[in-house]
Amino acid sequence: MKIYFCGADFKPEPWLAALRAALPQASVEVWSPGAPPGDYAMVWAPPQAFLDEQPQLKALFNLGAGVDALTQLRIAPATKIVRLDDAGMSVQMAEYVLQALIRHFREFDGYEADMAAGQWSFRKPRLRADFPVGIMGLGVLGQRVARAVQQFEFPVMGWSRSPRQVEGVRCHAGVQEFDAFLAETRVLVCLLPLTDETRGILNRRTLSRLRPGGYLINVARGGHLVEEDLIPLIDSGQLAGAALDVFQQEPPPTSHPFWRHPRITVTPHTAARTLRDESVTQIAGKIQRLEQDLPIAGIVDPSKGY
């Protein structure tokens, strides 16, 4: 069995070593143009030339949860696209969202500024009931985040494409329930995949529907946010601020106003990192199942784009 690695942004050697150890019967190599046909591939944002040369691949294993870089490419219909299914990402995502939520709710950003100025001052305690958290996307990551937020006793709402039932979460689904979901939400967490339906979904209209003093945590993709709409909403007082991990251009250009805005926290697309050992274990297990014609989780539905 031949497996290729074609991952922009990833150092290949440790991945090759880990997959060779997990599947000693397989030949695992970095793909280069003109290489012979392979059976499977581990990929992150591969070039179209790779897919054009390897139409016989049985499956492409994406080295992340989000497959938006792949769904824009021409991929042979018989090649399955398989996303990472948690693989150690959901707990990291829960950590990230919790820290952003608590930093905002407890005003730790304000305390940091006070302490830096040598000022010993207190802010009035706020009520969790006044900070309902709405999670867009109730998939692998969204549900784990919902569980973590519930542990801290915030009201939690969720929104998904199809109806979901998640214990302790007031669930909404579909376009028809979107505005009601927004109207109940004060802290909005975006954990949607980037698809034709969700691109630009965080915009002036939708963000204006949040409860007064709304706060945005975008940990999904930069393409979800209409970036030019955000600062006017914050500066007018409609929104209290935002924590952003993802951007239309990564890194954002140095002139981008998000870097310097006092109510916006920027992190470098690091909310939930791909963990090598967990990912290779998952991918190797799925390859073994596919070789035995057994079903696997995490196959992307091209008609939905995730």
Residues that bind ligand NAP (CB under 6 A): 64-66, 89, 137-142, 159-162, 164, 191-195, 197-198, 219-221, 245-246, 269, 271-272, 306
| Binding positions for ligand GLV, 57-86, rule CB under 6 A | 64-66
Calpha distance 297→305 (Å, rounded)? 16
Q: For ligand GLV, give the closer residue by CB, 38 or 64.
A: 64
Site string for ligand GLV, 270-299 (x = CB under 6 A): ----x-------------------------
- Catalytic-labelled residue, pool 83, 172, 221, 224: 221
Q: For ligand NAP, give the closer residue by CB, 58 or 164.
A: 164
- Smallest separation, CB 258 to ligand NAP (Å): 15
Catalytic residue flag (residue 269)? yes
- Smallest separation, CB 64 to ligand GLV (Å): 3
- Smallest separation, CB 280 to ligand NAP (Å): 17
- Smallest separation, CB 155 to ligand NAP (Å): 19
Structure tokens at 290: 């596919």
Q: How many CB atoms lie within 10 A of CB 205?
A: 12
Q: For ligand NAP, give the closer residue by CB, 151 or 270.
A: 270
Sign of CA dihedral 88, 195, 179, 100: positive
Q: Give the nearest residue (CB) to ligand GLV.
A: 64
Calpha distance 63→70 (Å, rounded)? 11
Q: Which does 121 bind (CB under 5 to 8 A by kind): ligand GLV, ligand NAP, none?
A: none
Q: Which does 142 bind (CB under 5 to 8 A by kind): ligand GLV, ligand NAP, none?
A: ligand NAP
Catalytic residue flag (residue 273)? no
Asked whether the beta carbons of 287 and 40 are under 8 A apart, the reply is: yes
Calpha distance 275→63 (Å, rounded)? 9
∠ at Cα 258 (261, 255), nearest 5°?
A: 110
Calpha distance 285→69 (Å, rounded)? 24
296: left (phi over 0), alpha (psi -120 to 50) or beta: beta
Q: For ligand NAP, give the closer residue by CB, 195 or 282.
A: 195
Query: Rounded to the nearest 5°, which phi and psi values hold at 142?
Result: -60, -40
Asked whether the beta carbons of 128 and 153 are under 8 A apart, the reply is: yes
Residues designated as active site: 221, 269
